[in-house]
Amino acid sequence: MRVFLKELEISNWKGIKHESFNFTTRDSYFFGANGTGKTSVFASFIWLLLGVDNFGRADHQIKPLKDGEPEPRLDCEVSASLLVDDHIQLRLKRILHEDWAKPKTKSEEIFKGNTTLFYINEVGVQKKEYDQKVAEICPPHVFKTVTNPHYFTSLTRDEQRKILFSMVDNVTDEQIAAGNPEYEAMLKEIKGVTMAQFKKSLAAQISRIQKDIDDITPRIAELTRNKPEAKDWSQLEASLKENEAALAELDQQLTDKAKRSEAASNNRLAHQVAVNELVNANKQIEFGEQAKRIEQVEEMKSKIRSLTLEIGNRQRDGVTQNARLSYLRIEIEKLTKEKAALLSEYTSINSEQLVFPEGSFDCPTCHRPLDINDIESKQAEMTETFNQSKASRIEGNITKGKALKAQIGTLELEVSNLTEVPLADASDLEKQIEQIKKDKEELEAKPIPVKENKDYIKNEGKISDLKALIDIKDNTPVDQELNAGKQILKDQIQALTIELASREAINNTAKRIKELEDQKKTLNQEKTDLEKKEYVIAQFEDAKSMEYELRINKLFQMVQFRLFKKQVDGQVVPDCECMVDGVLYSTLNNAAQINAGLDIIRAISKHFNLYAPIFIDNRESVTEIPDMACQVINLVVDKSYAKLTYISEYGEINEHMN
């Protein structure tokens, strides 16, 4: 689609009072010193179509200023005649209109706000219809990029990449992998998940494996450090057999002696049974004495409870009557305060007077005083209502006061019939309680007299005699010597067995070290395989990035874009850096930047098939620009032109430029 600006009319727009420009050639020029309004011409055209200025601002100041403030009661208006695809005539108009209104209570109009008006072919339309019409001619996101050479490079990196990547066909993984066995195998493996997910999974696996490898190394070192030293295992086994044979011989000798001591053991067992029976008998005696002591203490506690209850019975009437007197006096005091409050309330109500506030009898609509008859009627009505309310409240107050007075009289009568009663004397009972408590404490402090029981003493004597018989041993000095030798042999056999057991520990440790070393070797191989996959993915992504850059950069004649950047760690990250002959756009002079921007516009216009008027600001800095397949409007700074001057004839321009 081709859009040609035929006419542009501007009124009250920034510093332009009223100007109208007719464009008849594909190239035209605006001359003027700084501040004469060249850039405002471009900004007004953008505002007409999109409602923003050339910087994309919707809230910029477009009204003319007077003494530093926007001049009031002016409508800012921009209209243009467009020729679309060489045959469609279209006229657009946008007006920023001030709304003024005079309130009923004010003598002057006040500013209510701004309203934007829209016209298509001189017919007023709604904003939605207007925006839709503009979008049909030139989509807003594309229009800005093809009318201003500096606009595209002013976008963010991500915004630039989005536009550039939309200009080429999508590069598929299959296209990059075609003919490369490693890439093709990788794509088969990651089928069903995204590349990013697969890379994250690989990184997690490598991290886990590395952690396992790091854990194995100290474990091997610890096993090696704690492994027992090797010994002469044949000599230890021979010594063990000799000691086991000697122990068997001693066991045989002791077996013969065991038969002789069996009878003595039976007698000791019978004596032990008798001892147990006597011990149980003494325990029963102890339980009986304890029960007697508990019974004596409980009798004393019961006596204390009986005496305490008797004290309560003696003093019950006096306590009850004194408590009632205290309650009645407190209640009389409370009711008396309530009665005083009612009296104060009665005085306040009785002193109230009806007052008519100023304006009470004004009409609520026009605020003028009512007629005399209406005022008197309303005053009578308000007076009657006030008197009824006052009488009702006084009556309620008197009723409550009488009820309180009657209640206070009843309570005072009861108080006059009651007198405080002294509590009955119970000191004799209290003395008895103190004596019983003292006797109880002395009894509980005494030990239970079980040692004084005759049967207990007799049983203790029998137990002592039987234990003496049990302690008699029938071992001879020879038996003791044999048992001592047997113990020595057992200790030696245990020590030899422990030493021989270390041989198995050494073998098990060596086996475990070998298992850990094999596991470490396997883990290292797994890690290597995973790292190889990471490397293949990195190579694949590099190839895909290069393919995108190649396809995108083929669209441009002058500029090139670096769309991916490899970091120090080897990771490839998104980028978007415009360059001309290897020089960064940001370091180019203004002329080179304009030509670079025109090259970008040429490619974008071709891709989106949108050729719109290009406004080149600071055109004086460029001696030559590339041939463009669209209308070009040049904005030239020339201090010899004190006012904004538009020239469309080629000859005049050429003469001036020379």
**Residues 33-44 pLDDT 10s:** 998 888 889 999
Give the pLDDT confidence of 208-236 residue by residue, as tens digits: 999 999 998 888 888 777 766 666 667 76
Three-state SS sequence of 582-597: CEEHHHCCHHHHHHHH
pLDDT at 379: 80
pLDDT at 260: 55
How far is CA 504 from each of CA 211, 300, 500, 516, 518, rounded to the nearest angstrom?
A: 31, 75, 8, 18, 21
Task: Report the alpha-carbon distance of residue 362 to residue 374 in Å, rounded.
Answer: 10
The dihedral formed by the CA atoms of 169, 174, 179 and 185, expressed in degrees to the nearest 10: 160
Give the contacts of 573 (CB within 8 A, at least 6 positions apart).
564, 565, 566, 567
pLDDT at 140: 84
Question: Helix, strand or coil for residue 80?
Answer: strand
pLDDT at 496: 66
- Helices (H), strands (E): how many in the chain? 15, 15
pLDDT at 228: 66
Q: Buried b / exposed e across 373-387, counting CB within 10 Å, b at 16+?
A: eeeeeeeeeeeeeee
Whether 80 and 5 have beta carbons less than 8 Å apart is answered as yes
pLDDT at 594: 93
Positions of the chain with pLDDT under 70: 53-60, 227-233, 236-237, 247, 250, 256-268, 271, 314-319, 359-361, 367, 419-424, 472-480, 486, 489, 496, 499-503, 570, 649-658
pLDDT at 264: 58
pLDDT at 354: 79
How confident is the prediction for the chain on average, in pLDDT?
83
Which residue type is seen at 272?
Q
Supply 556's token pair. Answer: 């441009």
Q: Which of 611, 651, 657, 598 is nearest to 5 (CA)?
A: 611
pLDDT at 36: 87
Q: Is 574 left (phi over 0), alpha (psi -120 to 50) or beta?
A: beta
The phi and psi torsions of 476 (rounded to 5 degrees) equal -95, 170
Task: Report the alpha-carbon distance of residue 268 to residue 475 in Å, rounded.
Answer: 14
pLDDT at 57: 65
Give the pLDDT confidence of 534-552 residue by residue, as tens digits: 889 888 888 888 888 899 9
Question: Helix, strand or coil for residue 299?
Answer: helix
pLDDT at 92: 95
Domains defined for the chain, CATH in brackets: 3-138+610-657 (3.40.50.300), 233-443 (no CATH)
Give the contacts of 318 (CB within 8 A, at least 6 positions apart).
421, 422, 423, 424
Task: Report the alpha-carbon distance of residue 91 to residue 7 in Å, rounded.
Answer: 9
Whether 182 and 535 have beta carbons less than 8 Å apart is answered as no
pTM of the model: 0.52
Give the pLDDT confidence of 395-438 residue by residue, as tens digits: 888 998 888 888 888 888 878 877 666 666 777 877 888 888 88
